[in-house]
Amino acid sequence: MGYLPFFSSEIYTLVLLPLFIFIARVLDVSLGTIRVIFISKGFKYLAPVVGFFEIVVWLLAIAQIFQHFTNIVYYVAYAGGFAIGTFVGIYLDNKLLIGTEIIRIITRKRASKLVEVLKSEGYGVTSTDAEGIEGQVKIIYVILDRHDLPNIIEIIKRYNAHAFYTVEDVRFVSERIFPHRRPWSKEQYLNLLKLHRKGK
């Protein structure tokens, strides 16, 4: 019985409960974003697990809304959590760097050095001649793990700074050639928590 005055107090109803709804909404929207990412990347076993926890957290938040229809503070907390959760989900997507991508490089400059360096780094490279609006161009295709993208972009800027390139997600690859690397160390996993700067 001693807990009842606390749950009816202004601190609980106007501060703690809205904060709980806000945090729960941030979590469930973030999990929802990650779930969609896992689905798009083909992680068919991880996506349902994330979806389970996503809906559990959502039910906890929405239950509080249903119990307090008349208090606008809860609606603001719910909507604010959705907005911040969307941002957090995008941030986590940039941090996780999971999946496979294809980078398409188009250059008017001779690309023999760029192709040579990419091959020496262990990437599978396919190149072909093509005709652009301003004449002959070289098109280079590279399939890579997403966390290798900053390294590829650095190489492009170093050896062909004015090259045009696009990056697309790849859902499935039958065969691939990636650089040989040792298993990730503890330090590399911790680096995922650091801010990822694109193009560096």
Q: Between β-strands 100-107 and 164-170, what pairing exists: parallel, antiparallel or unpaired?
A: antiparallel
d(CA 119, CA 58): 47
CB 150 within 8 A of CB 198: yes
User: Confidence band (pLDDT; 50, 70, 90) for 187?
Assistant: low
Q: What is the mean pLDDT of residues 27-38?
A: 89
d(CA 153, CA 132): 22
Which residues contact residue 160 at a Cβ distance below 8 angstroms, ignoring those fewer than 6 apart?
A: 105, 107, 109, 111, 113, 114
**What are the tens digits of pLDDT across the range 64-113?**
777 766 778 888 888 999 999 999 988 887 777 777 888 999 988 778 88
Q: What is the pTM of this model?
A: 0.60
Helix (H) or strand (E) holding 37: helix 17-41
